[in-house]
Structure 1
Amino acid sequence: MCLGIPGKVTSVQDNPMGLKMGTVEFGGVAREVCLAYTPEARPGDWVIVHAGFAISLLDEEEARLTLQTLAELAASEEG
């Protein structure tokens, strides 16, 4: 099973090879992510990221609901 995690795009840039890249924040942790599959992504947008690639855009409410569900799942596994 593959799991994509919502993150918020904080910056967008092209890398030297011409790929669109972005910095995406996941709960305070920033990571470089390839935006080739979501070229319309802009700072402030939410994306689903899997294996270093943003694979889709989503709205803020959907991102927050997904993060809440993931937190509830993690809590249920802890105890």
Structure 2
Amino acid sequence: MCLGIPAKIISITDKESATALVETAGVKREACISLLSLQGNSFDDLIGQWVLLHVGFAMAVIDQDEALRTLALLASLEG
């Protein structure tokens, strides 16, 4: 089973390699945002946006409400 996790783009770390710093539930990591640029998004406009993150790749921009609901659901599954 594959699972996409909501993450918020904090900053663009390298435009040339299309990487950004993203945060999920307080955990920050680097992620590839090249797929988002292929969808017509400019890197600067992505800062502050929520994305669906899967194995280090931001797959799509998602709505903040959807992101927060998903994170709450995942937190409730922890135990």
TM bucket by the smaller chain? 0.7 to 0.9
Q: For the pair shown, which has the larger CA radius of gyration, 1 or 2? A: 1
Residue identity (%): 42
Unmatched runs of 5 consecutive residues or more in structure 1 = none
Residue type of the partner of 1:27? A
Match of 1:50 in 2: 54
Task: Point out the structure with the larger helix share.
Answer: 2
**Stretches of 4+ aligned residues off by more than 2 angstroms:** none
Normalized against structure 1, the TM-score is what? 0.82
Q: What RMSD over aligned residues (CA atoms) do the two structures have, in Å?
A: 1.4
CA positional deviation for 1:71: 1.1
Which residues of 2 match residues 1-79 of structure 1 at below 5 A?
1-14=1-14, 18-39=16-37, 40=41, 42-75=46-79
Unmatched runs of 5 consecutive residues or more in structure 2 = none
Structure ranking higher on relative contact order (CA contacts 8 Å, 6+ apart): 2
Distance (whole Å) between structure 2 residues aligned to residue 4 and residue 51 of structure 1: 8
